[in-house]
């Protein structure tokens, strides 16, 4: 599929489906928050070095490196903007499980997920507007949709921060009940999310399959850069090996579900963006589990 075609296509998603997708993302964040406690934020404040390095890599280094990539890759503008959007998203909730499997510091991973999810309310819209506006190939898309960072802020607040707060409140007020429903709720929300997205892609299957070849290499390269950025940041900061693993995985596993919500809300399902972010959501699981498997076979020494 050539660049003009990919930049012009839109994935069909009716208003009812969009509302359902928004609701499911909110439920996923609520389910993730059931695993969080105020102690996770306190831990980040009492031992701030690793979470701080991770957040800098997540919201400063990763978007900046992604911008440089978009300036040199010969990909369609919509794909490049999809890369910038993914880089602007916070870490995904699967990062905590992958860090545990990788014998990394799960406490640092959970702290980073909690703090980055809140920071994303401000940092995600700012990074998309700033870095997307700097690239002369992606700026026209932002201009065409008249992207208002404040509108993005409101959306992220509704589907990220509020469910996060509600989940933590429920966990604090009704710990016994939450302990019973936590795992089934998380599994159910992920299954429903996959179902909703599958329905959307199913209605556009020909477009998705035709365009996938364009984005596969881009996503593979971008995800490898993300994992490398987290690893290099952790090593340069001289973090312990277990913390380096947590930071690496946290930066390499992005909340692509949030990215899809923003694409359908603000970019009218722009094909190149949606396919890039959607494929990222598949590939980062493969890459993250591969990294976790390789690290699980290596002991965590004070320094790798």
Domain that holds residue 210: 12-296
Report which secondary-structure segment, H or E, holds 84.
helix 77-88
Look at residues 33, 228, 199 and name the one whose alpha carbon lies nearest to residue 114: 33
Cα–chain center distance at 130 = 18
Is residue 7 situated within a structural domain?
A: no
Rounded CA-CA distance 36/44 in Å is 12
pLDDT of residue 165: 81
* Length of the chain counted residue by residue: 304
pLDDT of residue 270: 79
Rounded CA-CA distance 276/267 in Å is 13
> At 39, which CATH number?
1.20.1530.20
Is residue 222 situated within a structural domain?
A: yes
pLDDT of residue 201: 62
Is residue 186 situated within a structural domain?
A: yes
Mean pLDDT by 10 residues, the chain (304 residues): 56 61 73 68 72 91 96 92 94 80 84 82 91 94 78 76 80 80 72 66 68 83 95 93 92 86 81 84 88 84 48
Residues 162, 227, 52, 260: what is their CA dihedral angle, to the nearest 10 degrees?
Answer: -20
Is residue 3 situated within a structural domain?
A: no
Is residue 98 situated within a structural domain?
A: yes
Rounded CA-CA distance 253/4 in Å is 30
Is residue 253 situated within a structural domain?
A: yes
Q: Which residues contact residue 71 at a Cβ distance below 8 angstroms, ignoring those fewer than 6 apart?
A: 135
Separation of first and last alpha carbons in the chain: 43
pLDDT of residue 1: 47
Interhelix angle 94-101/241-252, rounded to 10 degrees, is: 150
Total tally of structural domains belonging to the chain? 1
Is residue 188 situated within a structural domain?
A: yes
Is residue 303 situated within a structural domain?
A: no
């Amino acid at each position: 599929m050539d660049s003009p075609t990919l930049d012009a296509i839109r994935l069909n998603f009716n208003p009812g489906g969009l509302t359902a997708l928004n609701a499911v993302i909110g439920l996923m964040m609520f389910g993730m928050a059931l695993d969080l406690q105020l102690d996770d934020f306190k831990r980040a404040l009492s031992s701030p070095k690793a979470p701080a390095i991770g957040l800098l890599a997540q919201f400063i280094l990763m978007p900046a490196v992604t911008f440089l990539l978009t300036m040199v890759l010969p990909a369609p503008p919509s794909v490049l903007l999809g890369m910038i959007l993914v880089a602007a998203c916070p870490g995904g909730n699967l990062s905590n499980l992958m860090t545990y499997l990788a014998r990394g510091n799960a406490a640092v991973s959970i702290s980073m997920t909690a703090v980055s999810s809140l920071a994303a309310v401000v940092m995600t819209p700012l990074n998309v507007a700033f870095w997307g506006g700097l690239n002369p190939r992606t700026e026209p898309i932002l201009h065409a949709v008249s992207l208002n960072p404040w509108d993005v802020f409101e959306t992220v607040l509704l589907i990220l921060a509020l469910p996060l707060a509600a989940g933590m409140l429920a966990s604090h007020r009704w710990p016994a009940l939450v302990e019973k429903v936590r795992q089934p709720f998380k599994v159910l929300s992920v299954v429903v999310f996959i179902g909703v997205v599958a329905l959307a892609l199913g209605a556009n299957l020909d477009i998705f399959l035709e365009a996938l070849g364009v984005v596969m290499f881009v996503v593979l390269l971008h995800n490898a850069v993300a994992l490398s950025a987290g690893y290099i940041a952790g090593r340069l900061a001289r973090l312990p090996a277990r913390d380096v693993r947590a930071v690496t995985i946290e930066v390499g596993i992005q909340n692509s579900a949030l990215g899809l919500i923003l694409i359908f809300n603000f970019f009218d399902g722009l094909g190149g963006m949606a396919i890039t972010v959607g494929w990222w959501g598949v590939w980062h699981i493969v890459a993250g589990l591969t990294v976790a498997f390789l690290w699980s076979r290596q002991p965590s020494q004070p320094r790798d």
